[in-house]
Structure 1
């Protein structure tokens, strides 16, 4: 069925509610109608995400019902016990988030599945914790993370509190695809959610238990007790969900000198004070930096709207605040964590650190120094969560830290997704440890570079929206495979890893080896001192290009990185 036929199906359906009908009437051009209906909003391994509005290619109550009905069918196949274990549901501050969460709750209740629903907005890591605490069969969080205001999304978690593995996601996707008419799906119709027998609202008990576990993240209690109140912290939740959880975590654990960015404390689905509510974007720290200058902040911390990502800024040698990259923050956390655990005699003999294939190799160098094994996963914290579960079940390794370059970190696995709340607290402990030595986090990072080498990283994202954008991204990936680069910045390409084909190619020897990771639409080029990785985003209309290299000095690294970017982007045009 083409987009025009899909549009007519929605227009003529007696099931369409009044508000959606008005939104359909507001689609005044063929271009808008086509983009809303030319495809079905895809449910990938990480869930679904898209602009809100009417249509098969939009986030709305009907696409939410469809996804949830698929989840209900999957749970029902597992038996009555799975239905009784139920599903925990959380949501963020975005437009329609509460409504979509309630649609999901009503859909599950109709199918006889128990629901644990938060009464108010909560961070994504709290949902992950709640799944485990309530011993639920699954979890749902309504969020579009750090996407622009017009977006919303839907993520599904397994019974371990981690996002669904590809195998489970494939089963769910099949159930969703088999639903032909999303407009006529039944839901529990009671006027109030409180009147639905299967729905239980999650109360203070779960949030208190989460905070109890957060406190266990602290490694050096004496250090924090003596110095926590001396650390000047500036915090912004960027209009999102983390205000209460982060401030409570800091206060409970001795970091009382906290200055809030008042303009960004209030939940705001428009994220009106920033161009993008993403702590990866340096502009998002503009107001926090102003506060930092006023109060002489030692460390500035900011979370994205659903509080799974954390950004950090600190003063440089010129006295200006510099936003650290995810790789830099991860290296600082890992170095302090392993140093302290070893000193305390608490570093497990079979310790393992997990990172993604697009994360800096600096973490592996640090881990090697402490005899800690590094395991790479595909991009996406669900793969890190999957490994944690595997190690717990087999006992083959003990998880000590997991991170990805996109500002996602996990210190303690009572949560099975990246957790900006626990890491906000831990970063303050790391900053306090360096302050005691008379150093900033940046000066601490310089010491790490001097010991392990100067690593430079960069992410270049190309936003390519709509049908044309999909075609452009597809064309780039085809070129990378069929007409590969021979060199960049004067450095020959030595190896190519094609994760879709599952092979690693030795360019000079023309020899192929098999990769052990799951298949994914990713291509990675290696040269002597680094690599370039190409990956279409699974949740945004973006082509992402990652650069990583090791140099002898900071300046040398910056110069080579500049040339690398120029050569690669010219090749992609």
Structure 2
């Protein structure tokens, strides 16, 4: 069925009448809204809010919930009784979508446990295992702009879905006869049903109790000034309570961004990777003389950090904070003989150098924290390694495996502890980072992220990847390519196939190209190492310029 016919079908159902009327003459918008069913990947759905098969709305939520429900039914009554934990962030319709999911599950006789209030994605991951549930769902689009929402599914181990589980859900979704006739219980019906239980305080307490065990040093400058912002998101309650539990006495909450609002009115993007998101935190920080700024994204799985240096705040990259945390953890306690840290193939090699210093193995995975979680689960069974830390360049970190996804709450607590420990010796995190560079080499990284919206955008990203494969460059910025690794056509270091290309250059610099798995973007990663910061920064700029012709 083509886009126009699908559009007319939705109009006849009297669905989203005003929104559909608003795009009635916009051929491009109708095409983007209806040209496909919103794709379910290994993590779930993510897309723009609005009417249409390629948008996030009540009916696409019911469809994916129906796919999950049918998969659970196939596992039998025990799986149905174990049920599904459901959490949601502060985005538009997140809570509504959470209860829509519970309503579809209940129509199949499946138990659900729904958070009364918005809570972080990592707390959902923790709750799945704590409640021994069969699966978990969190309604979030993470750090995407306000126009987006998403539906992420977690397995019984608290990690994002295995490919087989995801494929099962997709197959069941495809078997649904009509997206308009999916049975569900209304929210009022759920409230009188034993199949939907609301949860909150007990899970908050258990989660924070589990995170208390990551504390490495109870000393340090605990009166150090800290500003925390949840950027209008779900991280507020557990992060503030966690900092108090860790003994911090001078924490300032950024009140303008403590308001839970899906419009994210005080920022352009609710993304702690962006310097703009720290603008108000920096203002408050200077007013209260804070030495450390902490920011979590809307579902609190990513953490951004800024450090006061010579009267100004310096933002740390994900690569830098990861290396600092790893060094702090390994310097605080001796590692077990089989200890290993996990990073992705686009993450800085500085962490690997730090790990090597302490005799700790480094294991690389594809981009995406689900691959790090897979390794943790694998090692639980094989005992090949003892997990001590995992991170990726995109501001995601994990130290305690009671959570099986990146966790900004636990890392906010550990970062504050680390900063307080060094502050007691007169050092900032930037001082410690500089020392790491001087010891291991001046590693620097950069990311070029290009956005291509809609169906034409998908085609553009595909053409970029095809161009690299058909005519791979022999050199970048006069640096010869030593090796090209195509993860789609080769089995590299035992990793699964993926649409990723990595170029290793003669001087050990590297460039990696991949489509984003969660946004309409093509990403170009660059990594270099030289003998000085200036030289590394210059080389980064040269490689950036060399990549412009491919964009």
2:522 to 540, 543, 548: 543
1:531 and 2:519 aligned: no
**Mapping of residues 115-154 of structure 1, within 5 Å:** 115-154=112-151
Q: Structure 2 CA distance, aligned partners of 1:324 and 1:529?
A: 24
Residue in 2 that maps onto 1:424: 412
Q: Structure 2 CA distance, aligned partners of 1:414 and 1:119?
A: 22
What is the CA-CA distance between 1:189 and the residue it aligns to? 4.1
Conserved 8 A contact 1:188-1:196: no
Q: Structure 2 CA distance, aligned partners of 1:128 and 1:263?
A: 28
Which residues of structure 1 form unaligned runs of 5+? Answer: 504-513
**Secondary structure of the residue that 1:322 maps to in structure 2?**
strand
What is the CA-CA distance between 1:190 and the residue it aligns to? 6.4
1:472 and 2:433 aligned: no
Q: Structure 1 CA distance, aligned partners of 2:308 and 2:473?
A: 39
Conserved 8 A contact 1:308-1:421: yes
**Secondary structure of the residue that 1:494 maps to in structure 2?**
strand
Q: Structure 2 CA distance, aligned partners of 1:466 and 1:211?
A: 41
Residue in 1 that maps onto 2:249: 256
Residue in 2 that maps onto 1:310: 303
Residue in 2 that maps onto 1:507: none
Residue in 2 that maps onto 1:70: 67
Conserved 8 A contact 2:516-2:523: yes
1:239 and 2:232 aligned: yes
TM-score normalised according to structure 2 size:
0.98
Residue in 2 that maps onto 1:414: 402
Q: Structure 1 CA distance, aligned partners of 2:503 and 2:313?
A: 33
Q: Structure 2 CA distance, aligned partners of 1:274 and 1:179?
A: 40
| 1:423-473 superposed Cα distances (whole Å, 9 cap, x missing partner) | 000001110121122111001100111111110001111011011111110
Residue in 2 that maps onto 1:111: 108
Conserved 8 A contact 2:70-2:172: yes
**Mapping of residues 17-28 of structure 1, within 5 Å:** 17=15, 20-28=16-24
1:56 and 2:26 aligned: no
**Secondary structure of the residue that 1:375 maps to in structure 2?**
strand
Residue in 2 that maps onto 1:510: none
Greater CA drift, 523-532 or 242-251: 523-532
TM-score normalised according to structure 1 size:
0.94
Q: Structure 1 CA distance, aligned partners of 2:186 and 2:97?
A: 15
Q: Structure 2 CA distance, aligned partners of 1:480 and 1:522?
A: 10
**Mapping of residues 555-566 of structure 1, within 5 Å:** 555-566=534-545
C-alpha distance 436-120 of structure 1, shift in aligned 2 (>3 A):
same
Moved over 3 A (4+): none
Conserved 8 A contact 2:100-2:187: no
Residue in 2 that maps onto 1:508: none
Residue in 2 that maps onto 1:568: 547
CA RMSD of aligned residues (A): 1.2
Residue in 1 that maps onto 2:318: 326
| 1:524-551 superposed Cα distances (whole Å, 9 cap, x missing partner) | 1111222111111111111111111111
Q: Structure 1 CA distance, aligned partners of 2:486 and 2:47?
A: 28
Conserved 8 A contact 1:190-1:196: no
Q: Structure 2 CA distance, aligned partners of 1:381 and 1:180?
A: 34
Q: Structure 2 CA distance, aligned partners of 1:480 and 1:444?
A: 39
| 1:27-73 superposed Cα distances (whole Å, 9 cap, x missing partner) | 23222211111111111112111111110010001101110111111
1:277 and 2:277 aligned: no
What is the CA-CA distance between 1:254 and the residue it aligns to? 0.3
**Secondary structure of the residue that 1:182 maps to in structure 2?**
coil
What is the CA-CA distance between 1:298 and the residue it aligns to? 1.3
What is the CA-CA distance between 1:80 and the residue it aligns to? 1.2
Q: Structure 1 CA distance, aligned partners of 2:475 and 2:329?
A: 38
1:521 and 2:499 aligned: yes
| 1:187-208 superposed Cα distances (whole Å, 9 cap, x missing partner) | 1246342112211111311110
Residue in 2 that maps onto 1:336: 328
2:198 to 192, 196, 201: 201
Q: Structure 2 CA distance, aligned partners of 1:22 and 1:360?
A: 48
What is the CA-CA distance between 1:217 and the residue it aligns to? 1.2
Which residues of structure 2 form unaligned runs of 5+? Answer: none
1:4 and 2:4 aligned: yes
Conserved 8 A contact 1:499-1:515: no
1:294 and 2:287 aligned: yes
What is the CA-CA distance between 1:401 and the residue it aligns to? 0.3
Q: Structure 2 CA distance, aligned partners of 1:172 and 1:516?
A: 26
What is the CA-CA distance between 1:515 and the residue it aligns to? 4.2
Q: Structure 1 CA distance, aligned partners of 2:205 and 2:257?
A: 25
Conserved 8 A contact 1:165-1:383: no
Q: Structure 2 CA distance, aligned partners of 1:193 and 1:119?
A: 13
Greater CA drift, 305-314 or 76-85: 76-85
**Secondary structure of the residue that 2:545 maps to in structure 1?**
helix
C-alpha distance 190-89 of structure 1, shift in aligned 2 (>3 A):
closer
Residue in 2 that maps onto 1:440: 428
Q: Structure 2 CA distance, aligned partners of 1:177 and 1:213?
A: 40
